[in-house]
Amino acid sequence: MSEAFIRQTTAGFSLAGDTEKFLTLPGGGAVGFALGAEYRKERNGRTTDPLVKAGLTNQAATQDYEGGYDVTEFFGELSVPILTDMPFFQLLSIEGAVRHADYSHAGQATSWKAGAIWEPTDGLRLRATISRAIRAPNIFEAFRPSEGQTTNVNDPCAQTNLGLNPNRAANCAALGRPAGFTPLNGGVGVPFIVSGNQDLSPEVSDSWTAGIVLTPNFLPGLQISADWFNIEIDDAISFLSPQQIAENCVDRAGGPDLELCSLITRESNTASPNFFGITTGNSTYVNTSKLETSGLDTQLFYALPLGGGRISTNLAFTYLHRLRTYTFQSRPDLFTVLEGFYGYPKYKGVVGLTYSNGPLTLGWQGRYQSSQALTDISPGISRELLSPDRTGSRFYNDISASYTLSMNGRQEAKFSFGVTNLFNEKLPVMESVQVIDPSGGGFEQFGPVIRAGLEVNF
């Protein structure tokens, strides 16, 4: 048995408006602005039953923990219409925002955004944005309680492992490895401390987008947009196992990774039979990872009157050009390719059709995802023998209907009905593989799911 708590305290103020009463730009108009400040205090923890804490039950022993931080933030935003209603400049505007945060556990960090919109003629709009975002370490990453465990570590500096990476020999020698080194106990039962890391710094994300929006005058109700996105996250927080720490301490080009090497303690007594062997270590969270992704998002929406009601269609389509993760950003040669791997289709889309007429609404939605690999597609990875080794492309159909009934002029009753995955479309995967809902809403249901409901508003 355990008890957990979460506490949050917030305070802040903001001011928003424009300069219409005291400043307007000659070719544009009033400048919009917003500014403010916020203080937030977060704290959570867990208290565990003494028997569980002592490892005397059938549950894994867990320890109490409590941690928290406070953050003070200041922010400001501007929207500046430079030109409006001019030839080739129906609109030209720029915007910017900045937020500075001071975290008690992670130091200071600043996020910002800058963007521009240019509308050279009615119905054509170009837009672009660059930004920097941050994520501070959460409470568990920073304050996870220390717990001891023993584990096996295959020492990368051992004589039998030295040739498995071209950088190991030089890096192990730089750390003081003796010739012919072989761990005394073979790396079995090495004590490690698993804990949080209060020295973590915020993750940093740099991104840019550029796109176009079309709303042609000759076809009212139609809107088409397309945006290319590019995102890179540096200093991402990862939890490292003892084996990962030991290997990547000495596998980096240009010398040992001193941050990772500091998490391992080796025998320093030259008279000891286990000289240079790993004696203890700390398995923890480190700002060591990286993520890169890019792709294209497109949307189409069109609506028009039909039969006394209104029919609309929408299409959202994404092309995932690149999605790569690097467990160690100092090792750009080691990365995982995710675009096209199971759960990350290179092409996916949602198309919908809705008809509404008074109290009646009818809808259909189709969800598409392209074929995905069931084995690791990263370079240098041996392929597992699976049959089939790809999912094949899939298309799911959903339908819905609702009817709203007015009662006494003030009450309403809404009847709804829907079927998800109408034709029982399934991914051809092994039972041991988790099947992810392509809409991102959990596990894909095996078989149609029927929903019916009644909502009454008084």
User: Residue 131 forms beta bridges with which residues?
Assistant: 113, 207
Work out whether strand 278-283 and strand 190-194 pair parallel, antiparallel, or are unpaired.
Answer: parallel
Amino acid 437: pLDDT: 41
What is the DSSP-derived secondary structure letter of residue 337?
Answer: E
Interval 318-340: pLDDT, tens: 999 999 999 999 888 889 999 99
* Separation between Cα atoms, residue 113 and residue 204, nearest integer Å: 13
Amino acid 34: pLDDT: 97
pLDDT band at 59, cuts 50/70/90? low
Which residues have C-beta within 8 Å of that of residue 208, sequence separation ≥ 6? 128, 129, 130, 131, 229, 230
Q: What is the mean predicted confidence (pLDDT) over 259-264?
A: 94
Distances (CA, A) of 197 to 139, 143, 194, 282: 10, 7, 10, 10
Other C-beta atoms closer than 10 Å to the C-beta of 364 total: 16
* Token pair of 287 as six digits: 């700002």
Predicted confidence (pLDDT) at residue 188 exceeds the cutoff of 80: yes
Residue 156 · residue 243 · CB < 8 Å: no
Using alpha carbons only, what angle is made at residue 223 by residues 85 and 359, rounded to the nearest 5 degrees? Answer: 120
397-435 core/surface letters (b: 16 or more CB in 10 A; e: else): bbebbbeeeeeeeeeeeeeeebbbbbeeeebebeeeeeb
Which of 49-63, 228-242, 369-383 bottoms out in mean pLDDT, i.e. has the lowest?
A: 49-63
Predicted confidence (pLDDT) at residue 399 exceeds the cutoff of 60: yes
Predicted confidence (pLDDT) at residue 440 exceeds the cutoff of 60: no
User: Residue 14 forms beta bridges with which residues?
Assistant: 36
Residue 137 · residue 155 · CB < 8 Å: no
Residue type, 395: F
Residue 84 · residue 27 · CB < 8 Å: yes
Residue 429 · residue 401 · CB < 8 Å: no
Amino acid 256: pLDDT: 95
pLDDT band at 436, cuts 50/70/90? very low
* Separation between Cα atoms, residue 198 and residue 214, nearest integer Å: 49
Predicted confidence (pLDDT) at residue 416 exceeds the cutoff of 90: yes
In three-state form (DSSP H/G/I as H, E/B as E, the rest C), the secondary structure along 87-149 is: CCEEEEEEEEEEEEEEECCCEEEEEEEEEEEEEEECCEEEEEEEEEEEECCCHHHHHCCCEEE
Amino acid 379: pLDDT: 76
Other C-beta atoms closer than 10 Å to the C-beta of 149 total: 12
Other C-beta atoms closer than 10 Å to the C-beta of 355 total: 17
Predicted confidence (pLDDT) at residue 444 exceeds the cutoff of 60: no
Residue 96 · residue 33 · CB < 8 Å: no
* Separation between Cα atoms, residue 113 and residue 133, nearest integer Å: 8
Using alpha carbons only, what angle is made at residue 147 by residues 142 and 149, rounded to the nearest 5 degrees? Answer: 130
* Token pair of 188 as six digits: 């079995």
Residue, of 184 and 117, whose pLDDT is higher: 117
pLDDT band at 407, cuts 50/70/90? confident
Per mean pLDDT, which of 6-10, 137-141, 296-300, 438-442 is the most reliable?
A: 296-300
Amino acid 375: pLDDT: 81
Amino acid 441: pLDDT: 40
- pTM, 2 dp: 0.84
Amino acid 331: pLDDT: 87
Residue, of 316 and 146, whose pLDDT is higher: 316
- Taken as a whole, the chain contains a residue count of 458
Q: Which of 188, 177, 163 is nearest to 251 (CA)?
A: 163
The rounded mean pLDDT for the chain is 88
Residue 304 · residue 311 · CB < 8 Å: yes
Q: What is the mean predicted confidence (pLDDT) over 155-178?
A: 94
Other C-beta atoms closer than 10 Å to the C-beta of 454 total: 8
Q: What is the mean predicted confidence (pLDDT) over 263-270?
A: 94
| Coil, strand or helix at 451 | strand
* Separation between Cα atoms, residue 349 and residue 103, nearest integer Å: 39
pLDDT band at 445, cuts 50/70/90? very low
Residue, of 433 and 75, whose pLDDT is higher: 75
Q: How far apart are the first and last CA of the chain?
A: 43
Interval 217-252: pLDDT, tens: 999 999 999 999 999 999 999 999 999 999 999 999
Q: What is the mean predicted confidence (pLDDT) over 195-220?
A: 95
The answer to whether the Cα torsion of 378, 382, 386, 389 is positive or negative is positive
Q: What is the mean predicted confidence (pLDDT) over 86-115?
A: 95
Amino acid 11: pLDDT: 97
Residue 330 · residue 324 · CB < 8 Å: no
Predicted confidence (pLDDT) at residue 150 exceeds the cutoff of 60: yes
pLDDT band at 425, cuts 50/70/90? confident
The answer to whether the Cα torsion of 422, 424, 429, 432 is positive or negative is positive
Locus of tokens 């080739």: 88
Predicted confidence (pLDDT) at residue 431 exceeds the cutoff of 70: no
Predicted confidence (pLDDT) at residue 442 exceeds the cutoff of 50: no
Residue, of 56 and 324, whose pLDDT is higher: 324
Which of 21-25, 155-159, 173-177 bottoms out in mean pLDDT, i.e. has the lowest?
A: 21-25
The answer to whether the Cα torsion of 57, 58, 61, 67 is positive or negative is negative
Amino acid 325: pLDDT: 95
Residue, of 225 and 441, whose pLDDT is higher: 225
| Coil, strand or helix at 449 | strand
